[in-house]
Amino acid sequence: MRRLLVLGGLALALPGAAAAQQSNAILFANGKSLYAENCLSCHGVGGRGVPKPTHGALDIHGVGPRLRGVGAMGADFYLRTGYMPLQSALDQPTRRHSPFTERQIDALVAYVGSFGGPRIPEPHPERGRLAVGLRLFTEHCAGCHQVVAEGGYVTGARVPPLKQATATQIAEAVRLGPYLMPRFPKSQISDRQLDSIVRYVEWAKHPDDRGGWGLGHIGPVPEGLVAWLVAGAALVGVCTVIGRRIQE
């Protein structure tokens, strides 16, 4: 009885905290039911994963990785990019409009985050340096994503362009390593360096094309092709205008 009174006193003393706790509890409950509807068939009860296809028990028929340890960061990235939910576990997740509303995503992130794991990172691109970002991006990312972040191919997967990636999503992807991408822990890319990389990717969304024509930003090969085709056609045209066939 005394304990109850103490608790009640605490609740009275900290009304704001209590309200926040209550709304968190609602969020968590919403997330839990959304998870049961949309995620559980592949990711298993409580995010334990389904390593092999199973049928029957608890209506689990998919196959999917563990979510314990991915944290709010993993859930936030995969849900807000529309990578999840996935039609088939065999597909490569691609960016699309999420079927969930913002509030539903908040709820799912709160629920999956409760399994434990890293929090959503908060990059500060304004603290980074563009030139450093270009160097780091060239070193770590451009091999797959191309130097102006246009995306490309690696054996077995398409590499997504980064035009729509938000600052938070870039930071999340670097730490997570979605799909076939390796992850880069802080020992490889520090938070400070990550700020610079995010700043560069933000710049690469709207590069100032000094030449006027970006040509898809995929390097000197298309530029050369266009130059030769246009210049070649123009030269042949001029030749036909100023030249003359020998009259037979």
Nearer to another protein among residue 2 and residue 245 (C-beta):
245
DSSP H helical ranges for the chain: 2-13, 15-38, 40-43, 71-80, 102-113, 130-140, 142-145, 167-176, 191-205, 220-242
Of the two residues 27 and 144, which places its CB atom closer to another protein in the complex? 144
* Shortest distance (Å) from residue 50 CB to another protein: 9
CA 40 – CA 97 distance, rounded (Å): 21
In angstroms, what is the minimal distance from the CB of 142 to another protein? 9
* Angstrom distance (rounded) from CA 231 to CA 237: 10
CA–CA separation, 99 and 97 (whole Å): 6
Shortest Å distance, C-beta 211 to another protein: 6
**Sign of the alpha-carbon torsion through 54, 59, 64, 66:** negative
- Pick 179 or 203: Cβ nearer another protein: 179
**Nearest distance from residue 75's CB to another protein, in Å?**
14
Closest to another protein by CB, 181 vs 215, is 181
The nearer residue to another protein, 3 or 55, going by C-beta atoms, is: 55
Residue ranges binding another protein (CB under 8 A): 51-52, 63-65, 89-90, 143-144, 153-157, 177-185, 187-188, 210-212, 238, 242, 246-247
Compute the CA torsion angle 76, 65, 44, 103 (nearest 10 deg). 10
**To the nearest whole angstrom, how small is the minimum distance from the Cβ of residue 160 to another protein?**
14
